Amino acid sequence: MEGQQRGKAPSEHRFRKVLVILRLAGIPLNMHPVPRLYTVYSEMIVTCFYITYFACLIDLLFNDGSLVGAMKTIRLLIGMQFGVWVHLFFR
């Protein structure tokens, strides 16, 4: 069949770039036996992300009154909040 090359579904060929990006983010879409190394990688990435997120929150709370520093931290936290939102809804 033309749509199935090397035993893969047509959706894997169409959305290959999106699947790679999601897999790098720790979301194992269309990976039927999830490899053990990938599971370790995924848990490590999630752990590091949330540690960084909470470190930014603590930095914001204990900031020494510098408005410039607080705005930099808030800008980073807003971007990371989108990552948290995607992680919670895709997991």
Per-residue pLDDT tens digits for 1-18: 454 456 577 777 788 888
pLDDT confidence of 76, banded at 50, 70, 90? confident
3-state secondary structure 20-79: HHHHHCCCCCCCCCCCHHHHHHHHHHHHHHHHHHHHHHHHHHCCCCCHHHHHHHHHHHHH
What integer is the mean pLDDT of 54-67?
85
| pLDDT above 50: residue 85 | yes
Mean pLDDT score, 63-80:
85
Question: How much is the average pLDDT of 35-64?
Answer: 87
Whole-number Å distance between alpha carbons of 21 and 68: 33
Supply the pTM of this predicted model.
Answer: 0.61
